Amino acid sequence: MTVIRDVNGDQGHAESSSTGGAQDPWQQQQQQNPQPTLNDGITWYCYTALGLLFLTDFTPLGQWLLSGSPGTAAAGRLALLQWGAFVLPTLYWMRSKGWDVRAVLQLQQLGTLQQWLAGLAAGPVLWALINAAIAIKTGNTDTWLAAAGDAANSSSGSSPGVLLLGGGGSEAGVGWGQLPQLLLAAAVSPAVAEELLFRGFLLTALQERLGRIDAVAVCAALFALIHLEPQQFFLYCVLGGAAGAAAVRSGSLGPAVALHLGFNAAAVVAGLALHVK
């Protein structure tokens, strides 16, 4: 009987140790390779959205962004806002959390040349298809102009269109001679900055609980919402979903950046072609 009690006691102790001391697989993964959680993603998004609203609507920064003539000066102001107020603080916060920044942002691999070329080619096609669908739906061909310059008719400072094309580009001062500056500020800078933040950090955080498909969908919706342009919600949702799918499928942020860059470049070129007199 004593032997039986000892065996049972040892067995009970072993069971309690195995159940009480065992860690959840996610906890083990977090200890080995720390990653942002869903709560981290939601917290970051709320502070980013509130910060954008505060900076552009309740500080002199909003008027400063809209002041002066469009073109090179506006391009510099926009890039300064994107990188100085959002991207760099986010990168600093990630490092302070002890996360592997390259892994979180899916920068361990930048994608193949074929993936980049495919993204650059798919971006303009996606832009044309979305705007054609909207134009057919509304019966208004002017809808094609709405996305020129990566969305127009916004005074929030989050959209390059109103800054770089002067509220649609119908005014003098913006021409083909400024195309390189416009592409740099309205295509390259937003594509890299927004993909780092959304398909990089936020998508990684959302996948902790939502899984790939749901995370891509939610990330696309949040991406569209933060642009603060209800009339462009569908456009930004499709762009965000396509970029998210490219990032998840390739396991790299590179193809998403390429697609976003091609999308924005098509919008800028179309905006100049349709507006500049």
What pLDDT sits at residue 154?
Answer: 36
Q: What is the largest CA-CA distance in the chain?
A: 100
Residues of the chain with pLDDT under 70: 1-33, 62, 65-76, 140-174, 275-277
- Global pTM reads 0.78
SS3 letters across 144-193: HHCCCCCCCCCCCCCCHHHHHCCCCCCCCCCCHHHHHHHHHHHHHHHHHH
What pLDDT sits at residue 10?
Answer: 46
What pLDDT sits at residue 166?
Answer: 35
Q: How many CB atoms sit inside 10 A of residue 47's CB?
A: 14
Q: Do residues 254 and 109 make contact, with C-beta atoms less than 8 angstroms apart?
A: yes
d(CA 46, CA 51): 8
Tell me the domain boundaries of the chain.
36-275
Supply 129's token pair.
Answer: 């298809």
What pLDDT sits at residue 157?
Answer: 38
What pLDDT sits at residue 36?
Answer: 93
Alpha helix locations (H) across the chain? 2-20, 25-32, 38-57, 61-66, 72-82, 88-96, 101-104, 113-138, 160-164, 179-183, 189-194, 203-226, 233-250, 254-275
